[in-house]
Structure 1
C-alpha cells in the first residue's frame, strides 16, 4: 500500500514539475493578471452589495441543479429561462459598481488632463495660487462665523453633470465672492461651488449621494455626505465648512479628513493642485501631474 502511495505522490510531483518547466513568461503574465482580476472581484464583493447578490446567484444555481436532477420540470424551465437573461440582469444590478469602476479606470494617468493647453507652468501656478489663497481665506472666515460652505475643485474628471444642476458664473474667486455665495439668505448658498481652471465655474450645484450612506456617521450633515459622494465618483478635491461647528474638512477618494486649519488646507491644496515647476506644459503632459499624498491620520471616512 505504501509503495503505491509513494508511486502516486512521485507521479504527481513529476507532473507538477513538468508543468512548471513548460511555463513561459507569457503564462506568468497571464496568471498575474488573472490573480489581480480575482482580487478586484473579491474586493468588489466585500465592499459593496455585490456580495449579497453573488450569494443569491449561487443559491439560484444550486436550486437549478437540484430541481434538474430530481426531475422538477416546471421549476427547472423557469430557472433556466431566468439564467438566460442573467448577464443583462447582472449589468443592471451592478450598474453603480460598474460605473464607479470604469470611472476609476478612466482617471488613471494614461489620460492626463492639462489645466490649460498651451499655458506655461508659471501661468497655471499663478492662476491656481490666487484661487487657493481665496479658498483658504474664505474658509477661515466662514469657519469663524460657522457659515456652511461646500467647494468642489475639479481635476481630471469633468463635472459637467453636476455643473448643469447649478448656476454658471465664470467668476474670479475671492473671499468676498465666496462670502456672498454662502451667506445663508442668498439664492446660491444651498449647494456646492464648482471650480475649474482656477475660477468659480458654477454655484448652487447638487452633488451625488455617497454609495454607502447608511454607514456614514449620523452626526455628519448633508454637506459632508455630499462631499464624500462627489469624491467617490470623481478625483475632485471637496472642501467643506461645517455649519454646526465651523470645522474645515476635505474629502478625497471617498475619505473625509477633518480638523483642517487655514495653513494646513493651503499646504494640502498647493501640493495636490499646483504643477511641478520642472514640467513643460507646452510640450507634453507629465507622468504624474498630482502627487498623491497619504491622507492625514486621525481623519475618518464617515
Structure 2
C-alpha cells in the first residue's frame, strides 16, 4: 500500500508540474511522429521500424534479466543506429525532403494532414487509369477478362477461392493475369481500396440464369451473378468480340469504350458527374432481356 501511495504521489507531482509549453511540445511531437509513420508506410522504412521495435524490446529484456553481454551489444547498436539509418535509407529520406521542398508553403499543411479518404482517392485514380488501359488493350486483342471492384459488401468468400496477390494495378499486371492459358486467366480479379487483392477467383451463378441471353458467355453470366449478390462493379471483356461491359446491381451494360468506362468508374468510385450511358444495350432480370443480342 505504501508503494502504491508513492506511485500515485509521483504521478500527481508530474501532472502538476506540466506547463502549457510542455503540452504544446508533446502535441507537436505526437503530430510529427504520427505523420512520420504515415510517410514511411508501405516503404522499406516500415520494416526498419519493426526491426527497431524488436531491438528495443530485446534491450529491455536484457536490462530486466541482467544479461550484461546482450545489454552491452544492444547499447552500442543504438549509439551508432541513427548514423546507420541515415546511410541505409538515404534514398527514402531524400525523396521525402525533395517532396516537402516541392510543396508550396500554403500546401504544406495539407501535405502532412492528408486524410485517409484523400489517400484512397489517389489510389483509385491510378487504379482507374490502369483498369481502363488494360480493358482497352485486352479488348483490342479479344482477350477475355473479368475485374471485380469491391465496394461496401466484402467479398471474402470469392477471395478465398482465388490467389491473394495484394499488388498495385497496372495494364501490364492485368495483361499477365489474363494472358491465355496462364493459371489465373480463367478466374476473376478482385480489387479492394485501389489494389489488386486476388486473382483466379470463382463467382456465384446468377439467380435466374435462364433469363439471360444465350449469346452471353460464362464471364458475363458470372459478372451478373456477382453484381446480384453484392454492390460490386464488375467489368467484363468479351473473348469473342472484345466488347467491354459492366455489370452492376444485376444489370449488364455493354459497349463501353476506354473513355466511357473511365467516366463511369470515376462516377462510381470518386463521386464525379454521372455519365451518360444512353444508347447502350442492357440485360437485366426485370424482364428486359433481348432475344437477339448484337455483337
Question: Using a 3 Å threshold, how does the CA distance of structure 1 residues 265 and 294 change in structure 2: closer, same or farther?
Answer: closer
Aligned to 2:264: 268
Q: Please give the secondary structure, in 2, of the residue aligned with 1:220.
A: coil
Matches within 5 A, 1:198-237: 198-237=194-233
Aligned length: 171
Q: 1:179 matched to which residue of 2? A: 175
1:121 alignment counterpart: 117
- Which residue matches 1:194? 190
User: In 2, distance between residues paired with 1:137 and 1:161?
Assistant: 28
Aligned to 1:149: 145
Give how far 1:195 is off.
0.1
Aligned to 1:298: 280
Root-mean-square deviation (CA, aligned residues, Å) is: 1.8
Q: TM (normalized to structure 1)?
A: 0.54
Provide the rounded CA distance (Å) in 2 between the counterparts of 1:213 and 1:297: 24
Cα shift at 1:292: 7.5
Residue 298 of structure 1 deviates from its aligned partner by: 3.2
1:118-139 per-position Cα deviation (integer Å, ceiling 9, x unaligned): 9443212211000000000000
Q: 1:132 to 1:244 in 2, by over 3 A?
A: same
In the aligned structure 1, how far is the partner of 2:251 from the partner of 2:279? 11
Q: Is the 8 A contact 1:223 1:240 kept in 2?
A: yes
Is the 8 Å Cα contact of residues 263 and 275 (structure 2) preserved in structure 1? no
Q: Deviations over 1:47-97 (max 9, x none)?
A: xxxxxxxxxxxxxxxxxxxxxxxxxxxxxxxxxxxxxxxxxxxxxxxxxxx
Unmatched 5+ stretches in structure 2: 1-113, 284-288, 290-295
Answer 1 or 2: higher relative contact order, Cα 8 Å, separation at least 6.
1
Q: 2:163 aligns with which of 158, 164, 167?
A: 167
Contact 2:139–2:242 (CA<8 Å) still a contact in 1?
Answer: yes
TM-score, L = length of structure 2: 0.55
